[in-house]
Each structure stands twice: as structure tokens, then as C-alpha cells.
Structure 1
Amino acid sequence: MKKQFLAAIAAVTMVAAPAIAADYTITPMATGLNHPWSMAFLPDGRVLIAERAGRLRVLDKGKLGSISGVPKVYEKSQGGLFDVVLHPKFTDNGLIYLSYAAGTPSANATHIARAKLVGSALTDVKVIFTVSPTKNTPVHYGGRMAFLPDGTLLMTVGDGFDFREQAQKLESGLGKVIRITDTGAIPADNPFVNKPGASKATWSYGHRNEQGLAVDPVTGRVYESEHGPQGGDEINIIARGSNYGWPVATKGLDYSGATISPYKTYPGMKDAIVVWVPSIGPSGLAVYRGAMFKDWQGDLLTGALAIPQVKRIDMDANGKVIGQSRIFPEITERVRDVRVAPDGAIWISTDEDEGKVLRVTPK
């Protein structure tokens, strides 16, 4: 079964793109990066780039530098430095947030640190959240962050791979989307703050390995993408206190070919708005709201790792999926992140030992 699955991936990736003139330009902005995981755009025009190995780079007028003061990460397999996001009032306070794996092989977890960016250094670095319980696997960390319109911070937390049942257990922080304040406190209106024994940071649960998270700045709608096992990758609309099914309901199989659950859907659990079988390995997720690609307003852009590509999910005004298509077929490397820059350009990072950051603009 696994060989057939890998053959299917190979067949898809070998399909040639149509021989048509592209109406966009792809410009390399940085090369030679070690698995660039995420990007953030500073008001002064610089771009922060988080490398999984634990370095925070800065792209300034075409030149790559480094930011000092980054917390020590646990770098193994999928572990390392993940997301970098700016505080909504960064212009006033200079605060940034980093998510990363930290700990030891026998006890590691996803963390959030807050720091002030001063020039090319982080100061006042403070860990404001640590996922509990720790785990002994170097995979399925989640680690995507996004601020909500009310100023609270969301972060995805994976199930740790070997601990999938904990995605349904409210006392565990694994397999969740968490919500905290910008200082790391628990908001009083989180859905399970008054439930005895529950993890009070939990915003939603029943997740597997969430690699994409994006908030529509116009509607406030929260979109999340996650890896299924063998098939069953998803994009979900995240709602307060909701259960997204894993591992009770899934459209994927275990890697051995065994059935994980007899249920593809289950009463009381939220269904995805997009499902991929076979898996594409969805990664960084963005909502397009920009000036350059005017026909794409409100659409979702996602990278993919297992079947390397960039996809556009065509959305209507009510958050309903109209269709999807591959875009920028010249990009054939594993795509880790997709971001929309303030000017409306689309920035993409490739998940390679010699990774790149690319900028896409209309011709």
C-alpha cells in the first residue's frame, strides 16, 4: 500500500505544466537557507526569516544577516525553530514572537517566546508558553501562530505522532489550537477555563499536525491546515471550542495501510472544507488580501511538502470553497511557507537544505 501511495505521488509530480506564458514573475530573494520555515515583514522593509536549525535571519536590501539572542532550540527531525510573527502593535513596542521545539529527546515540547527586536538583536527574551505534556518524539509539533483581531494569539500544536489519542483529551495540550494573550496569560473567555482538569489554553481540539494557520484580516475567519496520515489532509475553519475529529474521524489510512477509524465524519465533530486524498502535505497558509493579484481576494494560498507545489483555493465571500488549482508550477521544491507581503506580493520559502525565498509579482 505504501509503495502504491509513493508511486501515486511520483506520478502526480511528474505531470508537466502547460506550456503557456506566465503572467507573473518569480524573483529569488535569498538562497542557501537551511530549511526556511517562516517569514515576517518589518515596517522598515526588512524581512525576518526563521531557519529550522535555530537561526533567525534578516533580509535587508538583498543582503542576508542574522539576529542574535534567539532561544536554544531542540533541532531533530521536524523539531527546531518554527514561526516568527510580529505583535499587532510592533511599530510601537518592537515585540516579536517565536515558536520552537525545546527540551531533550525524552522530554520536548513546542514553546512560544516573546522578545523585543532592537536593531539586529533580540532583548528581553521570555518564554511565555510551553505545551504540556512533554513528549519523546521529534515530530508533529505544529508551531504556526497568528494573532486574532482582539489581540490574542493562536498557535497550532501537533499530536506528537505517537500520542494521537491525546488530541481528543482536553487535559492534554497535544493535538490542539491554543489561545493566549500577548503576555502568555489565559484569556478568561477561552472555552474550557471552567472545566476541571482541562488544558485552559485550548481553543479547539481533535487536530493531528497543523502546519498552516491564517486569519482573514477582512472577515476575521480563521483557517487552519493539517496533515492527515496516508491521505486525509485538511483545511478547516477554526471555531471556538470545536472538535475537528482526529483520530475518531479521518479520511486517511495509517502508514501501514491499516484503518485508523471506521468513521470519515462523526456527529458533533467539525468537517474540513478541503480534504486531499492522497496527501499533498499542506504547509504555510495565507489569505490573499493584496493589491497585486486583484482576482484572488479572500482566496487561500497554501504550500505543499509531500507533492511539492503551491495551491490556490478559490473561496466565495461566505467562506465556501469554489475550486482549487496549482499556481506557479515552476516551483517544484517542497514549499514550507507562503506569505502575503504588505505590497501584495506573494513570498514563498522552500523546505530544503539549500532553501530559497522567492517573491512572486504580476508581470
Structure 2
Amino acid sequence: MTRFLLTLSLTALFAIASVARAEYRVETVAEGLEHPWSLAFLPDGRMLVTERPGRLRVIENGQLREAPVEGVPPVLDAQQSGLLEVLPAPDFAETGTLFLSYVHGDRRANHTRLARARFDGERLHDVQPIFTTMPAKSGAVHGGGRLLLLSDGTLLMSMGDGFFFREESQKLDSHIGTVVRINTDGSVPEDNPFVGRADVLPEIYSYGHRHIQALVYDPATQRIYSHEHGPRGGDELNVLQPGGNYGWPLVSEGRDYSRALITPFTRMPGMIDPLLVWTPSIAPAGMALYDGDLFPQWRGDLFVAALAEKTIRRVSMSEDGTPGEQEIMLADLGERMRDVRVGPDGALYVLTDEEDGRLLRIVPR
């Protein structure tokens, strides 16, 4: 099933405006974070932040705890690799269970790995890897690592194409360039789309991806949204479908970094078209679906953190899931935006991907 395609270029097909600062103000919650990557909220009000070099940090009572959490597994700390997502289990209040994604190995051979652990407030215990992508890849970029818990109790994890291995994204005997779906103990759900096929890795949920950097579930439409980096242009917003092929590298709106044509095709039968394409590239990172109460006018809209553009983009979404007007936020800060989340208080929280990164809080003025 193809999707309605909106292509954004310098001659925009729909309006892009800057959200007036009269509508909101920005507070700094914490600073001094080294390339923070992911943010999670705990039931007691504490927040967890991953730092790409391999540290898990705690923010409590509005203060960044000086000492990192002990017991984090070793990571490959290089370029885009390191400690990636932290995700509390739904029963965290009772069990202290966390999930961590990270890049494991070295530059010559590494994997994106998912581990389960127990957090007692000070350190991690019983750290157990439950899933490791195969095969190994070399290099330290495009490792994916975004996580999403679904309402049925299963877990999605994204895997990038490793940059140098784009052809793997069309192979079903490789996790490279896919989204995988597993149970929280690492086993394979019986209703995964390729279960029972001897020539396919059973964890694969969708494939043909370049580098997914966000996974978001919308309970109102029961859609799973993802976005992924294009090369020079061609960033995509997609709706994930089980068993779907999203085309990379056989179809793309982007060109290679040398400006060479990657493929002459932007659509192909049997491959799912994106909802939205950004050209030139904004380098989308985190994404959140706003469901809070502080900004009722934003409810149901998507917020996309952009690394290259150094902004947050609000993508207004209609009830049928069609993207509409986009608005640009935080362009005046000039910082790479890595993650955006909706807090329990209804505020937007943003991580800036800098050596001296910050956690920001957006609230009504």
C-alpha cells in the first residue's frame, strides 16, 4: 500500500513558519551533558539521560546528579556509536527494569545490542543482553538503536544500514537496515511477519531503511511513525507496516554526498512511499507525538528534533494522519537537537547534541 507523498523543497508545497516565542518559553533543566542521546521519565519524577560516550545520568529535583549510574555495559564510543536509548519497562515502579540499546564491539566488527537491566537508583544490576543484530558491520555510524514498546508488550528496535552496507537493507537474512520486533525477553513473537520462512531472520518487522532515528506510536490512529535520514536530502517520515519494504537504496529522493545519483527511482511497485520527505536534509533525530495539556493547540502533532537544521519542527497532523503545515522552533539557539519528548507535566523536553549538551524544557509563556 502506497502512502500520500509530500516532498518538501526550497519551493515548499506547504507553509513553513516559525512558532512565535510569545507562545512559549525555554528553560534549561540541566547542562554539562556530553552528547546526550536519549531521555526517559521515571514514575517518581526522576529523569534518565544517556550520554553517547557510555554514561547513564540521573536528573532529580531539577539537578543533574554528579556521578553517573554504575554498571552500564561497555560501548563502542566512536563517531555516532555509543550508548543510545534508555527505556523504562511499563512495570518499572515495581521491578526497576530498564532497556538499553548501544553499539557493542569495535570499529572492525560491531553490532547494535539491546540489554535488559535492573536499576536500584544508584547502579544497574543483572545486565543481560537479550538481542544482538547480525551480521557484524565495520565502521561506527548508522547503528540505529531507537526503541518503542508497543501496547501488546512487544518491543521494536531500529537498525541503520551502517552507511557502507546499504545493499543489506534489501536482504531479509540481515538485520542491517531493518526494524526488528521482539518480546521483552528477547524471544521472537509468533505473529512477526516473516516467522516460518527459512530464508528470513524472524525478528524482522520491516526493512529497506537507511537510518531510523525515531519510533513513535499514536494510539488514536494505531499508527507507528518513524523517520530516517536520507543522504543529501531525502529524509523521510514513514508509517511502519509489518513486512513492509521502504525501498532504500532502490528508491530515494536523495542524492549521495558526492551529489551522484543513488537511484533513478523515487517510487517502485511493492515499496511503501513516505508520508513526507525533507529536501534539503534536516537530519531528523528524536520525535514525539504531543498528547499533553499545556499546549492543547498542539495535541496530536508530531515534533521532530533536527540535527543539521538545528531546530525542532512541529508537523501538524490531521485526523486522518496527513501531514500539514510545519513550524520551526528553537532556530535561534543554533544547537543540534538530538531528542524531543513530552513530559508527564505536558511540557516538551529537548536534548541538544553538543559536547556541552543541555536538557531544555518548553512551557507556555
TM-score (normalizing by structure 1):
0.93
2:42 paired residue number: 42
The separation in 2 between residues aligned to 1:359 and 1:156, in whole angstroms, is: 27
- Structure 1 segment 8-27 matched on structure 2, within 5 A: 21-27=21-27
SS of the aligned residue for 1:214 comes to strand
SS of the aligned residue for 1:88 comes to coil
**Paired amino acid for 2:52:** R
Counterpart of 1:181 (choices 167, 180, 183) is: 183
1:305 paired residue number: 307
Q: Is the 8 A contact 1:310 1:331 kept in 2?
A: no
The separation in 1 between residues aligned to 2:111 and 2:334, in whole angstroms, is: 31
Tell me by how many angstroms 1:301 deviates. 0.4
Please, which moves more after superposition, 98-107 or 329-338? 329-338
- Provide structure 2 residue ranges, at least 5 long, that are not aligned to the other structure: 1-8, 11-16
1:331 paired residue number: 333
1:101 aligns with 2:103: yes
Counterpart of 1:126 (choices 116, 125, 128) is: 128
Counterpart of 2:240 (choices 220, 229, 238) is: 238
Tell me by how many angstroms 1:22 deviates. 2.1
1:347 paired residue number: 349
SS of the aligned residue for 1:91 comes to helix
SS of the aligned residue for 1:330 comes to helix
The separation in 2 between residues aligned to 1:217 and 1:165, in whole angstroms, is: 34
The separation in 2 between residues aligned to 1:238 and 1:259, in whole angstroms, is: 26
- Structure 1 segment 206-355 matched on structure 2, within 5 A: 206-355=208-357
**Paired amino acid for 2:31:** T
Tell me by how many angstroms 1:232 deviates. 0.3
Higher RCO, Cα 8 Å, sep 6+: 2
Please, which moves more after superposition, 83-92 or 120-129? 83-92
1:82 paired residue number: 84
The separation in 1 between residues aligned to 2:133 and 2:149, in whole angstroms, is: 18
Question: Matched residues, percent identical?
Answer: 48
The separation in 2 between residues aligned to 1:286 and 1:62, in whole angstroms, is: 22
SS of the aligned residue for 1:22 comes to helix
Deviations 1:48-72 (A, max 9, x none): 0000010000001122222111111
Tell me by how many angstroms 1:260 deviates. 0.7
2:4 paired residue number: none
- Per the alignment, do residues 254 and 19 of structure 1 end up closer, same or farther by CA in structure 2, a change over 3 Å counting? closer
**Paired amino acid for 1:274:** L
**Paired amino acid for 1:43:** P
SS of the aligned residue for 2:297 comes to helix
- Per the alignment, do residues 146 and 18 of structure 1 end up closer, same or farther by CA in structure 2, a change over 3 Å counting? closer
SS of the aligned residue for 2:146 comes to strand
1:69 aligns with 2:71: yes
2:361 paired residue number: 359
Tell me by how many angstroms 1:149 deviates. 0.7
- Structure 1 segment 139-150 matched on structure 2, within 5 A: 139-150=141-152
State the number of aligned residues: 349
- Provide structure 1 residue ranges, at least 5 long, that are not aligned to the other structure: 1-7, 10-16
- Per the alignment, do residues 20 and 177 of structure 1 end up closer, same or farther by CA in structure 2, a change over 3 Å counting? closer
The separation in 2 between residues aligned to 1:23 and 1:236, in whole angstroms, is: 29
The separation in 2 between residues aligned to 1:190 and 1:182, in whole angstroms, is: 14
The separation in 2 between residues aligned to 1:199 and 1:344, in whole angstroms, is: 39
